[in-house]
């Protein structure tokens, strides 16, 4: 069954010591309910959830959330806290999930001012997440949909995108990489005249002050997810380095994913 397929996939991706409930026979109704709740419990932190539709109890679109669909309003879950981005302000708060019900603590928010449509979006999101939401996962592990139903019958549907932790099967380690303005020609078994980024590791102390550079420039034989390199532009990036547990043939065992652009300029002072 699809629910069992997703449960197994999420467990494996998160390196959880759990097993599928399926024993080769059709599930009873009570078992299906239990599986659904367990499935959502595991899957919530395994994906980024982007809003794709929002309707009231009669099926009519919630106008205040149209901007959230256009801007890909996103909900991400940690172990105990969730974050909502894509509106005017970022919102975050603790949450508790039990027996298929998602309960969110009062959301804190940044305090930027935006146009009315975005402020209305933030306010509507705050109202919808104020009370308990019934959470159901629909679909398989590649394209799951999170359906949240409020007490008044409003329905939010959010498309899941696997987090890097889920895709690569490991926790990311924070590193700082400086990327040189110029790429260099480097050897690639599949691509003639391949150009590599030049990088070196940067370090910062606990106060955030940059320490003297000890690493030397070296080619990086892969891309950094989330960045597009522009010739002549030097950047310092905060990235997450993942150990890819089961990489495809010829793929690197380590993967770098952008977390934050720390510095960016067009100088070549790093020579």
Which segments of the chain are extended strands (E)?
47-55, 74-77, 81-85, 91-98, 101-104, 108-109, 133-138, 145-149, 155-162, 173-179, 184-185, 195-202, 218-220, 224-225, 234-243, 254-265
Cα dihedral 77→79→82→86 (10° resolution): -40
- By the 8 A CB rule, do 136 and 147 touch? yes
**Complete DSSP assignment for 189-223:** SSSTT-EEEEEEEE-B-TTSPBPPP-PPPEEESS-
User: What number is the average pLDDT over the span 246-270?
Assistant: 85
Q: Which long-range contacts (CB under 8 A, 24 or more apart) does 189-195 make?
A: 189/250, 190/250
Q: pLDDT tens for residues 200-256?
A: 999 988 888 889 888 999 999 999 999 999 999 999 999 999 999 989 888 889 999
Percent of the chain with pLDDT over 70: 83
User: What number is the average pLDDT over the span 115-142?
Assistant: 91
- By the 8 A CB rule, do 4 and 20 touch? yes
DSSP structural state of residue 248: P
User: What number is the average pLDDT over the span 103-118?
Assistant: 93
Dist. CA 39–CA 44, nearest whole Å: 9
Alpha carbons within 13 angstroms on the beta-carbon side of residue 139 total: 13
Crossing angle of helices 29-43/2-13, nearest 10°? 30
Q: pLDDT tens for residues 154-201?
A: 999 999 999 999 999 999 999 999 999 999 999 876 778 889 999 999
- By the 8 A CB rule, do 156 and 56 touch? no
Q: What is the pTM of this model?
A: 0.77
Query: Of the candidates 157, 131, 155, which has an alpha carbon nearest to the alpha carbon of residue 146?
Result: 157
Reported as a pLDDT band with limits 50, 70 and 90, residue 6 is very low
Q: 79 or 17: whose pLDDT is higher?
A: 79
Reported as a pLDDT band with limits 50, 70 and 90, residue 56 is very high
Q: pLDDT tens for residues 89-107?
A: 999 999 999 889 999 999 9
Dist. CA 3–CA 42, nearest whole Å: 12
Average pLDDT, the chain: 84
Reported as a pLDDT band with limits 50, 70 and 90, residue 23 is very low
- By the 8 A CB rule, do 154 and 57 touch? yes
The tokens describing 137, both together, are 């996962």
Q: 199 or 2: whose pLDDT is higher?
A: 199
Dist. CA 172–CA 176, nearest whole Å: 13
**Domain architecture of the chain: domains with CATH:** 44-162 (2.40.128.270), 168-265 (no CATH)
Reported as a pLDDT band with limits 50, 70 and 90, residue 267 is low
Dist. CA 45–CA 153, nearest whole Å: 25
Q: What pLDDT shows up at residue 25?
A: 40
């Amino acid at each position: 069954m699809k629910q069992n397929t997703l449960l197994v996939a999420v467990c494996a991706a998160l390196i959880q010591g759990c097993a599928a409930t399926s024993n080769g026979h059709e599930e009873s109704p009570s078992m299906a309910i239990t599986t659904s709740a367990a499935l959502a419990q595991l899957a919530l932190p395994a994906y980024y959830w982007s809003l794709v539709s929002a309707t009231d109890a009669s099926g009519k679109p919630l106008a205040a959330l149209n901007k959230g669909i256009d801007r890909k309003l996103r909900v991400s879950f940690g172990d105990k806290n969730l974050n909502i981005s894509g509106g005017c302000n970022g919102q975050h708060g603790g949450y508790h999930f039990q027996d298929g019900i998602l309960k969110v603590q009062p959301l804190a928010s940044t305090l930027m001012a935006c146009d009315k449509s975005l402020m209305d979006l933030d306010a509507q999101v705050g109202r919808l997440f104020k009370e308990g939401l019934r959470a159901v996962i629909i679909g398989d592990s590649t394209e799951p949909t999170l359906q949240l139903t409020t007490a008044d019958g409003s329905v939010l549907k959010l498309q899941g995108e696997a987090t890097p932790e889920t895709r690569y099967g490991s926790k990311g380690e924070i590193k700082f990489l400086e990327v040189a303005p110029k790429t260099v020609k480097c050897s690639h078994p599949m691509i003639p005249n391949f150009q590599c980024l030049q990088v070196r590791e940067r370090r910062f102390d606990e106060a955030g002050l940059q320490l003297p550079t000890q690493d030397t420039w070296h080619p990086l034989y892969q891309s950094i997810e989330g960045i597009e390199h522009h010739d002549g532009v030097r950047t310092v990036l905060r990235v997450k380095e993942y150990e890819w547990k089961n990489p495809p043939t010829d793929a690197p065992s380590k993967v770098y994913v952008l977390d934050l652009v720390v510095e960016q300029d067009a100088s070549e002072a790093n020579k």
